[in-house]
Structure 1
Amino acid sequence: MVLERSELLAAPAPGPVEGVLGDVLHRAVREGPEDLVLCTPATGETWTAAQLLADARAVAGALLRDFEPGSRIATCLGNGPEPVLLQWGVALAGMTLVPINPRSRPAELEHALGLSGAVCLYAADDVAGNPVADLAAAVADRLPALREVRRCGVDWRATVELAEPGSLPPLDPDLLAQVQFTSGTTGRPKGVRITHSGMVATGRAFAERLGPEAGRVWVNPMPLFHTAGNVLGVVGALWARAEHVVLPFAPAPVLRAMAERRATLLSAAPTLLDLLAAHPDLPRTDLAALRVLFTGGMTVTAAFVDRVESVFGARLSITFGMTETCGAVLQTAPTDPDRIRRETVGAPLAGTDVRIAGPDGAAVAPGVTGELWVRGARITRGYLDDPAATAEAIDPEGWLHTGDLAEMDGTGACRVVGRLKDMIKTGGENVSPVEVEEVLVQHPDVALAAVVGAPDERWGEVIVAFVVPAPGSEPDPAELTAFTRDRLSPFKVPRAWRVVEQLPMTASAKVQRAELRRVAAEPPPVRP
């Protein structure tokens, strides 16, 4: 089934088109120059829309004094004012931002900086114990394009230099705005080419899908080097003219910021929501202003939605997306009916075509599973210096083949049921890991679950389940086997169980199934 743009649910009313990122800044100043739009609790600083534009222009002026438009500027920073000001400044200067995970190790830094051809890197002295700037300096000599590593310490103004901007270059909406790196769940991360128009379209559609229910204070501990933080967060919040509260994730500071800033929206991955829900400070935290919780990055269940909404007293909005779609392509709205919010990842965002494709590429009927294909303004222009990977992912008609298995109902709401490559083939039968995981998390002793296949000479693959215990629980494999056997066909019941403290996750909160498959193929540990 294909939903054309004219058929999308909740499509925004026609209005002025903001084509480049700077237009979003100017729009915010036009509509509310004194609106508070940025807050960083760690430094206690705040910015109005007018102040943010002035500082962003000053950052752009400093960059243009040293580098040409089109240059690639890398950042390797934790959440704070620096990545936000640099994001807007780089955009105004007509340069390309290359945000890099600040937990990267030397080989990962060298790969990202070398592939992107960055001429300058802004690096934190330390992020969560990782000496980012020192690591970058150690590999800089092997990177001929990299001219300078600028250290960002406590005082951001000492390193994020400000200068009179003068005239800024005119920009095309199709200009490359960012090179972001895939999560690297399989193989080395690829550089995803993201345009100004893609980021603007996604930030706008995301904010409008949230609607007025999201309110005016958005707390965002999601990493600002990823699309969830710097497209949905930085661009989406400014489109909504919301106060964007950015800080690193740690349960106590996030809860404190939510209370002090009177948060109306919290953006957090499912694992982060679980950590907040279990924190002892939650019962005494004033969350009376909270209206919406936003999450994504992994498949969530109806039980998860019910639990989170009950604990936080707010509606959950779920998105499905990937780096190649600027972080979002499907999304539930806080006002959607319960069935949509609890059982799907919502309808396509405005400006997106969606097809659920069968093996022959033709659209399948509603309710039938196929591969999720997407097309539209927010789709990547391809992978940096990798035409083969680009051609494999994006067909000549512009459809991005996501590799995700999904089904769409008659209203356009989609349910993602797994990954093509994650499908387990056991005894001649296909098993979707998501189907088994959705059953496992219904057990009261299980907080999280991930299911993979392990090689087996007789069956081809056997199902191995990794489960994270619910607080105070000790899952019993025999009981879990009986529980799943009562609810699933026998061939879908896991043959092996691993009880773990946590699941390996990427920076964008996706389960690293490749790592789980590696562990599953090893003999189970011998218990004393």
Structure 2
Amino acid sequence: MAALAVSELRVPATGPADGVLGDVLRRAVRLAPDAVLLSTPETGERWTATELLDAAGSVAAGLLARHAPGARVATCLGNGPAAVLLQLGTALAGMTLVPVNPRSRPAEVEHALRLSGAVLAVAAEEVAGNPVADLCAAVEGVDVVRVGVDWRAAVPWATPGELPAVDPQSLAQVQFTSGTTGRAKGVRITHAGMVATGTAFAERLGPTTGRVWCNPMPLFHTAGNVLGVVGALASGAEHVVLPFAPGPVLRVVEERQVTLLSAAPTLLDLLAAHPDLARTDLSSLRVLFTGGMTVTPAFVDRVEQVFGARLSITFGMTETCGAVLQTSPEDPDPVRRETVGAPLAGTDVRIAGPDGAAVAPGTPGELWVRGERITRGYLDDPVATAEAIDADGWLHTGDLAEMDGRGACRVVGRLKDMIKTGGENVSPVEVEEVLVAHPDIARAAVVGVPDPRWGELVVAFVVPAGDRDPSPDELTRHCRDRLSPFKVPRHWRVVDELPMTASAKVQRAELRRIAAADAG
């Protein structure tokens, strides 16, 4: 490819024209009907391509016995076979999946179910002590299916019949992401976008047919259910699904001779620090996939040395089905170590200056992306949609990046104040609203401070109400009762006043400087 004159690149779509998730599954059956495509170490269950299609068809029939095509079905489940089969069955039924973090707190669950219009919630009795089925049942108008230890007895099944035709442009999922307004926004994801992303992602990883793909990434995120579920189906790999815990993941790598492991940077650090690592046979590993936050050349070198495998890094967001840029394991060292790769097939990327025009290569600007995988907007939020996606279809990511002359990109910062911790997005406003609801707090501001393991840690600056004396332990308990664990501040600072601009806005840059100095 000739050197680029400006930082804009259009990569045409390639690969099979599978328009909906059901097409990807049916194609896998045609290519290798007896190949194992899904396994779950916790239960010892395995499904060939044919068995997986039959099981997904039975789940689709069970859902259609309750609701019509187009209905929205929420899942609040940990990683396991039920989550995968509900995803596939919902797609075959022409319904919309609404995956909800099973560790969500009551207000978060209610917001997700009400905003999405879910009529059915398939929820675990509890996940990590969180009674998520009870939380769903507390939302009026939602039919709840409770999933206990015997998941087969709970998931809706029926004799497969004729399934509805599904439009590739129809809504496949509503995924939730934190926004700068403080409330989670419902991201609309189409079948076409999901299939295009999973397929292109798998192609960038290289040949994976017949290999074993271990995926402990959360199946309520695009990283788990688009890059993982769809990517593994598109590539013909055996998809090994399990919750993340360092010991069990290491055992699975050795026992199942895993060739490809998906893990966020934080999870890779936890695996590398685990005492079982030294006695685990990692010789089968060929590729590690990671993403969710910016990684350094030193991190790439350390991970590849520890695990003896090549690292593939992706950059994406929920609004891009989880991936839009990605390095290949076969890329030259400077690309693999210093960038997040080139655009995936079917993607337009522009590094835009303040006037919206593409800047010169090597010049920082805002990362804009366009293509089939881009969200169709935010559910029932035309204002936020118009702010994010312009009239020409460009998604303005709010991230600062630069593109080299060959099309590889490097993320250099963010325009937004979003905090990214352990691969999760945290809206400062959402946490601040919870804090100021406490009687001891008059004002609060939340920022992220860099952390080598988590990417960023959430830090809260709080101004006491009157003569109150806020206790960090009490504030932590207050937040844990109302927020998901990753949103709870890890560090606290009680201050008399927050630094403000002349227009009465909090100077977050100054707070980040103070927090970084404190972290020292």
Superposition TM-score tier, normalisation by shorter sequence: 0.7 to 0.9
CA deviation vs aligned residue, 1:253-295 (integer Å, no higher than 9, x gap) = 0101111111001100000000000000001111111000000
Q: Is the 8 A contact 2:314 2:340 kept in 1?
A: yes
The one-letter amino acid of 2:387's match is E
SS in 2 for 1:362: coil
Which residue in 1 is equivalent to 2:249? 254
SS in 2 for 1:4: strand
The one-letter amino acid of 1:4's match is R
Which residue in 2 is equivalent to 1:489? none
Shift of 1:183: 3.9
Work out the CA distance in 1 between the residues paired with 2:383 and 2:245: 40
Q: Is the 8 A contact 2:369 2:395 kept in 1?
A: yes
Shift of 1:126: 1.2
The correspondence of residues 189-208 of structure 1 with structure 2, limited to 5 A, is 189-208=184-203
2:163 maps to 1:168: yes
Work out the CA distance in 2 between the residues paired with 1:16 and 1:63: 29
Shift of 1:187: 1.1
Q: Is the 8 A contact 1:357 1:371 kept in 2?
A: yes
2:4 maps to 1:5: no
Q: Is the 8 A contact 2:210 2:238 kept in 1?
A: no
SS in 2 for 1:406: strand
Work out the CA distance in 2 between the residues paired with 1:37 and 1:279: 29
Which residue in 2 is equivalent to 1:341? 336
Work out the CA distance in 2 between the residues paired with 1:308 and 1:176: 37
Work out the CA distance in 1 between the residues paired with 2:448 and 2:170: 45
Q: Is the 8 A contact 2:11 2:343 kept in 1?
A: no
Shift of 1:161: 2.2
Which residue in 2 is equivalent to 1:136? 136
RMSD: 3.1
Q: Is the 8 A contact 1:38 1:47 kept in 2?
A: yes
Which residue in 2 is equivalent to 1:384? 379
| Deviates most, 111-120 or 15-24 | 15-24
TM-score, normalised on structure 1? 0.80
The one-letter amino acid of 2:385's match is T
SS in 2 for 1:416: strand
Percent pairwise identity: 72
Q: Is the 8 A contact 1:213 1:334 kept in 2?
A: no
CA deviation vs aligned residue, 1:463-482 (integer Å, no higher than 9, x gap) = 99554689xxxxxxxxxxxx
Residues 55, 363 of structure 1: alpha-carbon distance in 2 compared, 3 angstrom cutoff? same
Which residue in 1 is equivalent to 2:65? 65
2:328 maps to 1:329: no
Which residue in 1 is equivalent to 2:116? 116
The higher-RCO structure (CA 8 Å, 6+ apart) is 2
Counterpart selection for 1:244 from 228, 239, 243? 239
Shift of 1:381: 0.2
Work out the CA distance in 2 between the residues paired with 1:421 and 1:193: 21
Residues 118, 467 of structure 1: alpha-carbon distance in 2 compared, 3 angstrom cutoff? closer
SS in 2 for 1:112: helix
Work out the CA distance in 2 between the residues paired with 1:469 and 1:202: 28
Residues 467, 2 of structure 1: alpha-carbon distance in 2 compared, 3 angstrom cutoff? closer
Residues 513, 354 of structure 1: alpha-carbon distance in 2 compared, 3 angstrom cutoff? farther
Residues 466, 200 of structure 1: alpha-carbon distance in 2 compared, 3 angstrom cutoff? closer
CA deviation vs aligned residue, 1:280-321 (integer Å, no higher than 9, x gap) = 000111111100000000000000000000000000000000
2:261 maps to 1:266: yes
Residues 71, 270 of structure 1: alpha-carbon distance in 2 compared, 3 angstrom cutoff? same
TM-score, normalised on structure 2? 0.81
CA deviation vs aligned residue, 1:317-374 (integer Å, no higher than 9, x gap) = 0000000000000000000000000000000000000000000000001000000000
Residues 238, 464 of structure 1: alpha-carbon distance in 2 compared, 3 angstrom cutoff? closer
Shift of 1:421: 2.6
Work out the CA distance in 1 between the residues paired with 2:73 and 2:255: 34
Which residue in 2 is equivalent to 1:394? 389
Which residue in 2 is equivalent to 1:31? 31
Work out the CA distance in 2 between the residues paired with 1:401 and 1:523: 28
Q: Is the 8 A contact 1:56 1:86 kept in 2?
A: yes
Question: Which ranges of 4 or more aligned residues in structure 1 deviate by more than 3 Å?
Answer: 183-186, 463-470, 506-526
Work out the CA distance in 2 between the residues paired with 1:513 and 1:198: 36
The one-letter amino acid of 1:140's match is V
Shift of 1:171: 1.1
SS in 2 for 1:66: coil
Which residue in 2 is equivalent to 1:48? 48
SS in 1 for 2:65: helix
Shift of 1:155: 1.1
Q: Is the 8 A contact 1:73 1:120 kept in 2?
A: yes
Work out the CA distance in 1 between the residues paired with 2:88 and 2:307: 33
Counterpart selection for 1:360 from 333, 355, 363? 355
Shift of 1:16: 3.6
CA deviation vs aligned residue, 1:31-78 (integer Å, no higher than 9, x gap) = 000011001111110000000000000000111111000000000000
Which residue in 1 is equivalent to 2:414? 419
Counterpart selection for 1:403 from 394, 398, 416? 398
Q: Is the 8 A contact 1:215 1:264 kept in 2?
A: no
Work out the CA distance in 2 between the residues paired with 1:524 and 1:294: 29
Work out the CA distance in 1 between the residues paired with 2:358 and 2:517: 46
Unaligned runs of 5+ in 1: 424-432, 435-451, 453-460, 471-503
SS in 1 for 2:400: strand
Residues 380, 511 of structure 1: alpha-carbon distance in 2 compared, 3 angstrom cutoff? farther
Give the total of aligned pairs: 448
Counterpart selection for 1:307 from 294, 302, 311? 302
